[in-house]
Amino acid sequence: MGRYPAAEVDGADELLAVPPPIPVGIPVDILERRPDLIAAERRVASAFYLSEQARLAKLPSFTLTAGVGGNNALDSLVGNLAAGIFAPLYTGGALEGQIEVANADQKAAVAAYGTSVLKAFEEVETSLTNDDLFAQREDFLASAVESNFKAYELALAQYDVGKIDLLSVLQMQSRWLGASIGLIRIKNERLAQRVNLHLALGGSFEDKE
């Protein structure tokens, strides 16, 4: 911008609120919109078509032309048809090899699709589990922050009347600040896990077409 940065950017005072709870009974079909599963499904379909293409390559291929007249033309046509029928037989096993390769690719595509599906389920289950665990940890840390803050206030009152020294007050303040930092971190982790869950689901919880 043509000037030296002055550190005047205002930041948020607190983190965003954690989104609402995850609804129960999310349909499994919602995972079908994940880009990686869509790509894997397309690769399976492509492998099936390639396998069919390799199988059809063994069939004879010929064309019929109009205007056939006379025995010579008919004999020529029959000869061309015979050549077209027997031509695929003299390929030295190349066509059979192509079919085997296509079938192997087909099985590999199906296996890869299964692996992608299992990975999707694993990511969803991990995100759901983490969301529940982090929610429990947030409640625990929120309670710890409240308890440590009350203890800090009590320590200040005791210090004012000369019952304890300043070191004890600073120790209670350190515990309160440590619990507060932990609470901020776990809130950030919950937000990150919610993002991971949406990525694992391929979008929001609603199964939109």
Q: Is residue 39 part of a domain?
A: yes
Q: Is residue 196 part of a domain?
A: yes
pLDDT band for 175, please (50, 70, 90 cuts): very high
Q: How many domains does the chain have?
A: 1
pLDDT tens digits along 127-169: 888 888 888 999 999 999 999 999 999 999 999 998 989 999 9
What residues have CB less than 8 Å from 34, skipping those under 6 apart? 120, 200, 201, 202
Give the mean pLDDT of the chain: 78
| Maximum mean pLDDT: which of 12-16, 108-112, 145-149 | 145-149
Residue 181 has a pLDDT of 93
Q: Is residue 104 part of a domain?
A: yes
- Higher-scoring residue by pLDDT: 114, 68: 114
Please compute the mean of the pLDDT values over residues 175-203 and round it to a whole number: 89
Residue 63 has a pLDDT of 54
In this prediction the pTM is 0.59
48: domain CATH number is: 1.20.1600.10
Residue 62 has a pLDDT of 54
pLDDT band for 105, please (50, 70, 90 cuts): confident
Residue 148 burial (CB count, 10 A) = 19
- Which domain does 190 fall in, by range? 31-201
